[in-house]
Each structure stands twice: as C-alpha cells, then as structure tokens.
A and B are shown apart, each in its own frame.
Chain A
Amino acid sequence: MSRLAVPKTYKLYIGGKFPRSESGRTYEVVTKKGAFLANAAKASRKDARDAVVAARSAVSGWANATAYNRGQVLYRIAELLEGRRAQFIDEIVQSEAVSTAAATRQVDEAIDRWVWYAGWADKFVQVTGNANPVSGPYFNLSVPEPTGVVAIVAPQDSSLLGFVSVVAPALVAGNTVVVLASERLPLSAITLSEVLATSDVPGGVVNILTGSAAEVAPWLASHADVNALDLTGAGALDWVDLEIAAAETLKRVLRPEGGTDAAAPSLDRITALTETKTVWHTKSLI
C-alpha cells in the first residue's frame, strides 16, 4: 500500500515570512488538464502594500552590503536551488505538463542563469561606471546605484526560468523587489521563496505575491514608494494603463517582452534598474 502524501500549503512571501493573504482568499492552481494541484493565496491590495513596505525597509541593508557579499548571497541561492532540483522538476512536470527532460532543462537553465547574475554583483559597476575627463581641477566619477524598490510582473508562461530571469538581475545591483508570480504557474515561485527564506537573503529583499496579476499590478504601478516597474510578464494585461499609472511618480518602466528569449540574460537588465550618480570633487591647486 502506497503512503498517503502530505501536501504543502502554498502561501505568500512577504518580509521573510509566509503569511496567507490578509483577504483570506485563495485560488485553485490546476494542471494543464484542469486537475487540482493546490490552493494558492490570492494576494490583495493590502498584501501588495505590505510587500512594498517590507521591500522599502530592506533597501538600505541590501544596497549597502558589499558587492562581494551580495554576490555570495546570490550564489548561495543557486546552491540551494541545486539541492531542490527534484522538487522543482516535479512541480514543473505537474503544472506545465511537460516531459521530465524539458522540466529538467528549465530548472538547470534557471540555476545557471542565477549563477551568471550572481557573478555580476561585483563587476557591473566597473563595467558601466566611468572616470570622466572633465575640463578643470576635478575628480569626477560616475557609478551606477540601485534604483530602490522594483515591482515586477514575472513572465506568465514559465514556472521558474521566467521568474528567475526577471528577479535575479534586479537583485544584483542592490534593489529589493515585489514580484507578481505567474498566475497560472505559481508553484515554482512559492517553492523558490522557501529557498530564499533558508538562504542568506535578508527578509524583505524579495517579496513574492501570487494571485491575479490584473488585480494587484495596478496597485503596485501607482504606489508612490515603488521606484521601478518591470512589466516583462504583463503583455496580456492592460499594461499601457500600468505604464500611465507609473508615470505619475516617474517610475522607471520596462515594457513587456514576449517570445522564447523574453528576459534573456543581459547586463542591460541589471543597468536598466540602476541610477547613475556622478560625483565631482575639487582638487587643490598645488
């Protein structure tokens, strides 16, 4: 006789904790054929705002960590992901109805991409910063800094790889994030939050919401304490309205991307969520 399984309760991830939605709502996550998989939390406006508060309070610690430290913390996540490969593969096979081989490819690619971004943490400033030859006795440097709190609509048609492709680059520079996971395929994101909780990422650096992206995204787009809005996975939403809402506080906006290479790994995804700071300092005349 086979053993009776112990199913997991899938919850939100806010400020390093796993709350249910304050609204008490859940929605059914189903397989491609419609079979029940889980009841995921259906995040509300209040949950989104709590997540922004958590993200904001985590900015200074994460942004001011040394680049070497951020790189190691991010690499550590990849180590833990590797240890949970089987679980991710299993969840992807169930929810995406793909072969084990395809699910394995997705998980491995996600882990490798995470490693690739982790390695950028202590390099992108050198590559994108400048010493500027100004006309005059001044020491003049330009360096990229994190833009702050980034709200992200993750790709909707990918369980893990899409999620990693938008979250990892935002973290590299020292931003904190509030991510709306794929509505239909949220299980990998929630399992990833368990990885994050047991890694060295400070609570609040990554906040993950599941539920209706169409319902929650407008609250994030209009939230005055959000600095940037990554709409990579928002192609099917009324994303123009989101961009208009974001303009009210002049948020940096990344427009939706589709296709197989959506959110392909690039330095540009890191720098798009940074601000260039230029410091002039006088030199004495000797």
Chain B
Amino acid sequence: MSFLDYAPAPESTAILNLKSDYGLFINGGFVDGHGTPFSTISPATEKTIATIASANDEDVDRAVAAARRAYDNTWSRMSGSDRGKYLFRIARLVQERARELAVAESLDNGKPIKESRDVDVPLVAAWFFYYAGWADKLDYAGAGASPTALGVAGQIIPWNFPLLMLAWKIAPALAAGNTVVLKPAETTPLTALLFAEILQQADLPAGVVNIVTGAGSTGAALVNHPGVNKIAFTGSTNVGRGIAKAIAGSDKRVTLELGGKAANIVFDDAPIDQAIEGIVNGIFFNQGHVCCAGSRLLVQENIHDEVVDRLKERLSTLRLGDPLDKNTDIGAVNSAAQLERIKTLSDIGENEGAERWSADCVIPSEGFWFPPTIFTNVSTSHRIARDEVFGPVLSVLTFRTPAEAIAKANNTPYGLSAGIWSDKGSRILAVADKLRAGVIWANTFNRFDPASPFGGYKESGYGREGGRHGLAAYLKPEGSARAVTASPAADATDSTITTSKEAAK
C-alpha cells in the first residue's frame, strides 16, 4: 500500500429510509401515475433502487390543475413574508436531512459522496435560504414596483445535479410567488421525491409544488400544456431548441440553460499548481457531467508540455470507484446511454487524429465507468473540440497570443462559461471582456453561489439563474417589452416615464 492508497471508507446507506415504490407528488400527496412505471438504478451497480411512477398527459394535467388552484387560492394571496418563511423552513429541513440527501443523490446519480455532501446539498440549502429572503422584498428585485408572479411554472431539470437543479428552479419560482410543476430527469428522480417529503414536513400548502416523474413525453406534456405560464429548462441544446419552437406564438415565457463547450485558458504566467487543480476541477468534477465544464483546455504553447505532463501525473492519483466511498474522486457515469455517447465521441476523437491518454485506473465490473481522459494534438475542427461530450474527457489545444486564445475560445456556437488563468490582473480583465460567455472564472473554476447569476450567451440558452437576475425570470414587470426570455433586469417603472412632449400632451 503506497501513500496514495486508501482503505475503503464507504458512507453507510443505513441513513436512508427509501420506499420500494414512489408515486407522483400532486396536490400535497403521493398518487399513482398512469404511465408505465420505471426503475431507477444505481449507475455504480446497475441495481434497482426503487420503482417510480410515470406521469402521462392526464397526470400532468392534474398536476398543472393542482398548481393553478394553489396559485389562485393560496400562494398568490399569501404575504411575501409568509412565502419566505416556508422557504426558510425548507432550507433548514434540507440542512437537517443533508446527509440522507447526499447519500441518496450519490446512490441514484453516481457522483462521489464528497461532492454531493460538500457541494450539491449545501448549495441546495443555500439556494432556498437566499431566495427565502427575497420573497418579501420583490419591489427591490429590479422588476419595478409591485411586480407580480407569472403563475404556474413548468420546470424540467437534468440528471447531472438532480437536487441542486431542483433548488435552482423551485426556490426563485416560489419566492416570486409562482407555483410549480417540476419534472426530474428520468434517471435521477430519487432526491426530488425525498424533497417532496421535506415539503410535507414543511407543511407547504398543497399544490404549490408538484413533482411529476417520467421520460421525455412527460416533459413534452408539461411544455405544451396551455395552463403553464412559464417554462424553465436545463438540459441539452437540442431539447432546448425544441422547447423554444414549441412555445413559439404562445404567451409562455421561457428560460433555457443549455449546453456548453467552455474554454479554460491557461497563460504561461499562470499560478501553475492552482491551474492544474483548476483544470482537473473544471473537467473532472462530477465526471464531467457539467454543462459549464472546462472541456477545452487552451494552453499557451510554451507551457503545453509541462501542463500536460503535470495533468497526467495528477490524474493518475484520482480514485475512481464506489460513489459512496468518501475517498472517491471520480464516480460512475450516470447511465449506459451517456457512457455510450462518451465512448463514441472519444473514438471519433482518436479517429480524427487526436492523441488519447487515459488514466490507468481499475474499472469496476458492474456499472457505467469512464476513466479520466485527455486528448492532445486536438484541432479546432475536431468533434471533441466542438461537441459537448458531457463526460470526463478533456481536449487540449494551444495558442500563442491572447488574441488567438480569445478567437479560439469564442469559436463555438455555445457561450456558457470560460476560465482564465494568469497572474496578471489587467490581462484577465481584458480577456474576460472579450469572451462571449455568461460566466467567467478567473484563477478558479466551477464555482456556484445563489447570489451569482448563471446562464449562457448564444446557443447556451437565455435567462439567468441565481441572484437578483434569477428572480426576475419569474416576475412579470407590467408594460415591459414582451421578451420571450425574461430580461435580466426588467424595469416596469420605465414604461410610465414620459418624455417631455408626452407629458405636455
């Protein structure tokens, strides 16, 4: 046993009190679904965790009706401070049950327990706590005086951060006074259903949050439902495009948080130790299942070899395996389908001439796994430099001048995030100005905070989540331009501002 070997330290699943079957959460209680139930499995073992109900069109209809009743009769009439108190309660309940939620998340999703325990679940609590305080301060949200809620929000979330994405969606929606029908991802419904139990403990009024599990057809029913006023979606650009088309011509508003192909730019004066850790965190955090992952490493040519050597050395120390083991760095890929996509794109990378290197780690016999992988000798036209792999695969490209780095970084239809590593503050600020991306991390990567707006440019979607901007996405400023996407800081009061001639009339 070398100093890099660790004895297994698995987190116990005894803290979980799971049911064998879960229904849909509609109008405050669990009810049967009328679609074909499905199993949710642990991607690390392929063993079934529980059987989950599937919502068909009628079930979605019932959920939207429950949300509408709750909006009309309860939630829209409640004072902001009371809405806030419910959200504070939820934040506290999440903290109280944090360990249980983290274990369930790692079990269902495959992510390392150290991430679900130290990142996902604490951020979930923080998100509810942050937006709780907004509920009675909406006049200050930048949406004009006395803004109103939109109504019923239909929310569809991905499988990479199941509970965190739920929090990103539900917390601002409820704070702004909307009610919610949320559809978790098909492969990761478990923590959303545990969250439903938390809502029962919080005594949230029935129908304010409804959770409908199912596959793509359940999501489509929600998007197309005429009773829904707002769609919030996080997921692939392709599905987002379909949603934007589906709601065309309606009065629905939409925010879309879609794919990315972030450039992580490393200049030759970068603090190299931090940069190596940042690159690793940027692409291997959560097995690379991160829309804002730093999947394109742009490294200044003169330090390319050093960076790549040190990366390989660092990756060789990462521990891949049981997500519930507290020592695990790289967990399981979420599903067989995703593993297939990662393999396919990696093979294409090799066939197109890039050089592949994978960390030499033992792959468990069961479950879905992919070793941390680096491609060097990648050119901008390669598919691994253009397509979102959504896995632990890093493409390395080089540049000589800041201008070349900026041009290469922006050479993508996406525009979600980017990273800059340099010791020179003035250069960081100048480069940050030129990057067409919604979130830029300088000498850090993959940081998230409820106070910090997050969202993309171009085909990475529209609207922002987090901060005051995230709240505006769920508020209706009177007389504003009819933007499909909620504008970042809509200000209704201005529509009443008249120019001097108007005032004279």
Contacts and interface: CB of A to CB of B under 8 A. Distances in A.
B490 A130 contact: no
A268 B495 contact: yes
B256 interface: yes
Contacts of B459: 249-250
B462 interface: yes
Interface stretch (A67-75, A137-145, A195-203): A137-145
Interface range on chain B (Cβ under 8 Å from partner) = 35 or more
Contacts of A250: 237, 240-241, 244, 256, 258, 458-459, 461-462
B269 interface: no
Interface of B: 126, 142, 237, 240-241, 244-245, 248-249, 256, 258, 413, 415, 425, 428, 432, 437-444, 447, 449, 451-455, 457-459, 461-462, 464, 467-469, 477, 479-485, 487-492, 494-495, 497-502, 505
A37 to B, nearest CB: 27
A187 B1 CA distance: 84
A266 interface: yes
A76 interface: no
A116 B488 contact: no
A128 B142 contact: yes
A135 B126 contact: yes
Given A144-B489, A268-B481, A276 B438 contact: yes
Given A227-B458, A239-B249, A280-B447, A254 B438 contact: no
Contacts, number: 187
Contacts of B482: 254-257
Interface string A7-31: 0000000000000000000000000
A247 interface: yes
A62 to B, nearest CB: 15
A232 to B, nearest CB: 8
Contacts of B490: 267-268, 271-272
A248 B490 CA distance: 25
14 contacts: A134-B447, A240-B249, A243-B244, A248-B245, A250-B462, A255-B483, A261-B495, A265-B495, A267-B490, A268-B487, A268-B491, A268-B492, A269-B481, A276-B453
Interface of A: 105, 108-109, 112-113, 115-116, 127-128, 130, 132-136, 138, 140, 142, 144, 147, 227, 232, 239-240, 243-244, 246-250, 252-257, 261, 263-269, 271-272, 274-282
Nearest to A107: B501
A272 B143 CA distance: 12
A263 B495 CA distance: 9
B70 to A, nearest CB: 28
B499 A265 contact: yes
Contacts of B447: 134, 136, 138, 280
A278 B483 contact: no
A134 B495 contact: no
Given A244-B245, A250-B461, A268-B481, 14 more contacts: A135-B126, A240-B248, A240-B249, A254-B484, A257-B481, A261-B495, A265-B498, A266-B497, A268-B477, A268-B494, A271-B487, A276-B453, A276-B455, A276-B469
B440 A276 contact: no
A112 B413 contact: no
Contacts of A253: 483-485
A249 B238 CA distance: 10
A140 B467 CA distance: 12
Contacts of B428: 281
B440 A280 contact: yes
Given A268-B491, A275-B457, A280 B502 contact: no
Q: Which of A243, A248, A267 has the most CB of B within 10 A?
A: A267
Nearest to A106: B501
A279 B444 CA distance: 11
Contacts of B425: 281
B469 A254 contact: no
A244 B452 contact: no
Question: Would you list the 9 A-B pairs with minimal beta carbon distance, nearest first?
Answer: A240-B249, A247-B244, A128-B489, A243-B248, A134-B449, A112-B499, A266-B494, A272-B487, A268-B480
